[in-house]
Structure 1
Amino acid sequence: MCGIAGFWHPNSQGRYDGAAALTRMNNTILRRGPDDAGAWDNGAGLFLGHRRLAIVDLSSAGHQPMTSPTGRYVIVFNGEIYNFQALRKSLDALHTSPLPWRGHSDTEVMLAAFEHWGITETLRQLVGMFAIAVWDRSRETLTLARDRIGEKPLYYGVKNGALLFASELQALNAHPSFDAQVSRDSLALLLKFAYVPAPHSIYDGVHKLPPGTWIEIDRDAVENGMLGEPQKYWELPAQTGAPLSDADAIDQLHELMRTTIRDQMVADVPLGAFLSGGIDSTLIVSLMQSLSTQKVKTFTIGFDNPGYNEAEHAKAVARHLGTDHTELYVTGADALNVVPKLPDIYGEPFADSSQIPTYLVSQLARSHVTVSLSGDAGDELFGGYNRYQFLPKVWQKLNRIPGPVRKLASRVIETASPNRWDTIASGLNPLIPANLRVRLPGDKLHKLAGVMRHDTASEMYNHVVSQWQNASDVVIGSSLSPIARFESGDFASWMMRQDTLTYLPDDILAKVDRAAMAVSLETRVPFLDHRIVEFASTLPMSLKIRDGNTKWILRQLLYQYVPRELIERPKMGFGIPLHDWLRGPLRDWAESLLDPQRLAREGYFIPEAIRAVWERHLRGQGNFQQQLWPVLMFQAWLDQK
């Protein structure tokens, strides 16, 4: 796990000190690699920089930038290749005698593979997470590549004649040629989704390399500022029903998970895992412990607010599995202290509020280990989100009701605030069995009302995943691209695919990567081994959602390790009471960022639209944290830009 940065500026000699510019870029990502730094240049305007967090081969043999045995390729690489030992054996077998390896790093193996198979074929053989920049001296081309699902970030763009690339936006900003304006379309996307989706970034002309792609760049492309489109070396398979029995499917997944986790537990530094006590993290830890001769180190944070605390569940799981468990209870003040750090941690505006507990649990883990495995991606791959059940049922029923009737019913529901509906529901609770009572009924009713207004299934999905329904009407001078369309097939499968391609890499994985890297912790996500992703895509929906149970196949596998009663409980998000904080301890901070004169002066938002939502939130007329947090994160980012 590391950070990379670099630039290619033909004919730049004499304009500025290239080595000093690279050092400034490298220094901005120090936290991604505090153990070592490296630099290389070709004497003609190409500079490659690297920050190293040493995980495998802690010796100088793992130093980057690294050159291939013949000298043809030079690489900077962020990530881990889990099958590098198998690739090394394959490469040795292709020669009459073993290759003269300098060490046992995955970087060295990758370079040797480039020389034998070429770059694109090697990418197809890699199992792991990575962002790569590799210079081909023979062809004088630079190739940028990113792992299949997007665990590792990579930004790039041409600014004032220089191609800039790095793991984080701050590094690009540190280059003397960087001069970019905020993209208003990207700002509208931020308000809509709470993140800026690839290939966009918050800046005009700066892109995120999409997952599963590579792009080859030559001198003419840099000088003309025309880089071309990234090429795919991998694509998420289409959902197809697999002719497997339940038992065979569970056994195959079990073996895949064991193989993947065994590979991902290889490290020359202390290793542990996040444990929330939910299905996904519990399964990862269960398999880790079954494969380990020592107690696995597990980490959980707890909150004093019972509505947001999973620590007791995690402790019970840890006790059953026999892990070396560490928990830390944090106060609201501890969490609030993270807020001022968020713009620097994330580099570009990012507004998933679970970024705060993610940072805190990463900080806890880093005080004990250097690598932590995570249970992320189980929801997207195996049907964990409520919308995968809720929306198909709602669409099937509402589609039978004429549009005008649906829209009238929607308006009737919205005549009362969510709080008013909560009050009405609480009065009816004595008449409703406890198992049928709904948490936050007002919010759920308003969400249903929003869904009822739409005429297609894809519009309903788009509504559910959007924070601001009219984001382009709030951001001055912006527009949004048409939404993805569901045409036919299984609606739940389509939603899962959309989430895997967008929400997973650009929200979940970005959140975990930046939070962990802020404390120099490497995170690994076993569910994202592409073989597991491909296997999940072949499974019929009946193996993912059955009899109202989400992640059915994961549950069956987990029951082999943990009693049902330890994990069978309502899903609890990894969240914080942000709606209360915005009315309380964060109110003054938010008020200053949402000052109407400031908003008008900056010229990004229509002040009246923002203020109307803020004032409704303060009056308790609803929970508008999802709309407000993206605006606040952008405003806070502007202060530090």
Structure 2
Amino acid sequence: MCGIAGVWRFGGAPAAALEGEAAAMTDRLRHRGPDDGGVWADPAAGVALGNRRLAIVDLSPGGHQPMLSADGRVAVAFNGEIYNHPALRRELEREGVRFRSRSDTEVLVEAIARWGLDTALDRADGMFGLAVWQPERGCLTLARDRLGEKPLYWAAGPGLLLFGSELKALRAHPDFARLAGPLDATALARYLRLSWIPAPLTIHSGVRQLRPGCLLEVGPDGTPAERRYWSAEAVARQGLADPLPADDPDAAADALHRVLAESVAARMEADVPLGVFLSGGVDSSLVAALMRERAGRPVISFSIGFAERSHDESAAAAAVARHLGTEHVPLTVTARDALDLVPALPSIYDEPFADSSQLPTLLLSRLARRQVTVALTGDGGDEVFAGYERHIWAERLDRLRGRLPGPAGRLAGTALLGLPPTVWDGLIGPLVGRRRLADRVRKLATALQAGTMADLHDSLLARWPDPAALLADPLPFAAVPGAGLEPPAIAPGLPAVARMQLADALGYLPDGVLVKVDRASMAASLEARAPFLAPAVVAFGWRLPPALRVAGAQGKVLPRRLLRRYLPAALVDAPKSGFTVPIGDWLRGPLRDWAEPLLAPPVLEAAGLRPEPVLAVWRRHLDGAAGHGEALWTVLSYVAWTKAGPT
């Protein structure tokens, strides 16, 4: 795992200047690669590549980057892992390639030189942000992995292109301010609604994220052109058109075992210690079980719990660990731990990001790094195998929307929202035996009011239903309020649950979950690997018939069936609340002294926000009339970022 950065000054530049710029950029990424660093320049072209290395496979200098192919036709700066590099190496050796190291980077470089970039990426099972310079073509290509496990940012202007694994690398360049432009109001509005900024947007109007599964090609004229080399929608349609038989779930579980065990085994290859993040849920438990099966000995597992019992699921993780026989290392998070982390968040995430589970993820990564350098995770299991509540209810909500279209649905939704959350959670919830009933009612009301499946998905994730109403008028940004706020269209003609899953795979997964995990793990110099995101596992997930995705009120039907081979049913089917944080309680208590200065009207106005709607929600939250912790965390994280300044 590494961090990469680079610059292209079109027309050429002195080697010393190029190398100095690339070195300054990559130095800002030392946390991503504390073991080694290097720069390489082509002064005639004006290109410089930089790399910081976290050594995982082949710890020798043979893995030093940037790396050139043996024939000198390809130069690469690579952040990531190619898990199937042994198989690719054997094939290249049969074609006459001779290797100098055991590094997966060298395999990738020689594959690109031998087969071309598109073929090499198509055949690679990996996660990566990648820069490829081909001097004969005068072409620089940036590439990002299929599902967005690794980040890659870029900015271009007259005579110059910058790129890097994190925004802080670009900010280290002296011309960044010229390229970055003002803050992007569309990105800010989408952030306030979702708590994360969707690619290709960033908080800077002149900087972009490369989207997952895409290449950015820049030729001698300096014009960037993005194209897609892999399509999640195409894989989904292909899988749905060739479903597995629904009448033999045991055979399907056998097939899942084969493909997932192979993915786990590939992600266990490392020349450094490794472990697993274990929450006690289906996904991480299944990864831990397959690791134990593969290793033939106990693996090290790490879990996070909370002092607040209503959010603490550490007992479930401990029970799974005991049953699987892992060497379990738990940590209990307190509000004090969160408060200590808050000042570092703007620097770690570089731009506004407000999934409150970022706090325990950071602490979990620090905990794991004390003993291991690589940690496998269960990330992606919910998206690939339909594990979110919105997947479980997608078909029923879609039918309900059809029966109450237009004004009738909006009226019904308004009526449901008429009762305050305290009534739903405090009075009705206990009578029907449901926790967090108010949140479920809000989601139902949202579904009834949504016009399309894209609207529904976007609304279910919304922190602020009308983020444009929070933005100051006139805006202190070069954009029109409300512009670009429509969610991306979801592929038509697919079943409702598939459309919901695809929306998550295209948005929530790469821009929310994977951003959280990448920045948190890399801040601790820890590599996180996600077996559920292997191309073969993703393709397999799309082949599942409806009965093996969702049954009744339970998702992830097939992974649960497989996990019962390793754990008692009581552990597999125990209710889970997800990796939720008691952020609402913390904001009323230990975090209140931190939050209130950020919500002062002059501070909100300086950040480009209207104080009135924000403070109205803050007062309701403090009164206990409703829980608005996540919405407030979104605003607070943004304001804290503006006050921290560039990092």
- TM-score with structure 1 length normalisation? 0.94
Partners of 1:89 and 1:289 lie apart in 2 by 28
Contact map agreement 2:355 2:512 (CA 8 A) in 1: yes
Partners of 1:14 and 1:259 lie apart in 2 by 48
Partner AA of 1:381 in structure 2: V
- Determine if the alignment matches structure 1 residue 500 to structure 2 residue 509: no
Contact map agreement 2:244 2:543 (CA 8 A) in 1: no
Q: Following superposition of structure 1 onto structure 2, how do residues 127-166 of structure 1 map, counting pairs within 5 Å? A: 127-159=125-157, 161-166=159-164
The Cα of 1:481 is off from its aligned counterpart by: 4.2
> 258, 263, 274: which one pairs with 1:260?
263
Partners of 1:160 and 1:134 lie apart in 2 by 21
The Cα of 1:175 is off from its aligned counterpart by: 0.3
Contact map agreement 1:320 1:562 (CA 8 A) in 2: yes
Partners of 2:305 and 2:288 lie apart in 1 by 18
The Cα of 1:398 is off from its aligned counterpart by: 4.4
- 1:172 corresponds to which residue? 170
The Cα of 1:485 is off from its aligned counterpart by: 4.3
- 1:512 corresponds to which residue? 517
- 2:458 corresponds to which residue? 462
Partner AA of 2:275 in structure 1: G
**In the TM superposition, what whole-angstrom CA distance separates every residue of 1:450-490 from its partner, at most 9, and x where no partner exists?**
33333444433321122222122323443224334454441
The Cα of 1:594 is off from its aligned counterpart by: 2.0
- 1:290 corresponds to which residue? 293
- 2:9 corresponds to which residue? 9
- Please state whether the residue corresponding to 2:147 is helix, strand or coil: coil
Task: Give the unaligned 5+ runs of structure 2.
Answer: none
**Which of 232-241 and 158-167 deviates more?**
232-241
- 2:186 corresponds to which residue? 185
- Please state whether the residue corresponding to 1:6 is helix, strand or coil: strand
Partners of 2:518 and 2:438 lie apart in 1 by 34
Partner AA of 2:208 in structure 1: H
Q: Following superposition of structure 1 onto structure 2, how do residues 219-234 of structure 1 map, counting pairs within 5 Å? A: 219-221=220-222, 226-234=223-231
Pair 162,556 (structure 1): closer, same or farther in 2 beyond 3 Å: same
Contact map agreement 1:308 1:576 (CA 8 A) in 2: yes
Contact map agreement 1:372 1:521 (CA 8 A) in 2: yes
The Cα of 1:606 is off from its aligned counterpart by: 2.3
Pair 81,398 (structure 1): closer, same or farther in 2 beyond 3 Å: closer
Partners of 2:580 and 2:494 lie apart in 1 by 33
Partners of 2:360 and 2:37 lie apart in 1 by 30
Q: Following superposition of structure 1 onto structure 2, how do residues 327-406 of structure 1 map, counting pairs within 5 Å? A: 327-401=330-404, 403-406=406-409
> 416, 421, 425: which one pairs with 1:418?
421
- Please state whether the residue corresponding to 2:576 is helix, strand or coil: coil
> 631, 636, 644: which one pairs with 1:632?
636
Q: Percent identity?
A: 43
Contact map agreement 1:391 1:460 (CA 8 A) in 2: no
Contact map agreement 2:5 2:169 (CA 8 A) in 1: yes
Contact map agreement 2:15 2:41 (CA 8 A) in 1: no
The Cα of 1:22 is off from its aligned counterpart by: 1.9
- 1:50 corresponds to which residue? 51
Partners of 1:13 and 1:593 lie apart in 2 by 45
**Which of 145-154 and 18-27 deviates more?**
18-27
Partner AA of 1:55 in structure 2: I
- TM-score with structure 2 length normalisation? 0.93
Partner AA of 1:185 in structure 2: T
Pair 119,324 (structure 1): closer, same or farther in 2 beyond 3 Å: same
- 2:217 corresponds to which residue? 216
**Which of 488-497 and 475-484 deviates more?**
475-484
- 1:21 corresponds to which residue? 21
Partner AA of 1:69 in structure 2: A
**Which of 589-598 and 518-527 deviates more?**
589-598
The Cα of 1:160 is off from its aligned counterpart by: 5.2
Contact map agreement 2:214 2:226 (CA 8 A) in 1: no
Contact map agreement 1:160 1:177 (CA 8 A) in 2: no
- 1:558 corresponds to which residue? 563
Aligned residues: 626
**Which of 389-398 and 6-15 deviates more?**
6-15
Pair 297,580 (structure 1): closer, same or farther in 2 beyond 3 Å: same
Contact map agreement 1:472 1:480 (CA 8 A) in 2: no
- Please state whether the residue corresponding to 1:78 is helix, strand or coil: strand
- 1:618 corresponds to which residue? 622
Partner AA of 1:417 in structure 2: P
Pair 335,482 (structure 1): closer, same or farther in 2 beyond 3 Å: closer
Partners of 1:413 and 1:16 lie apart in 2 by 66
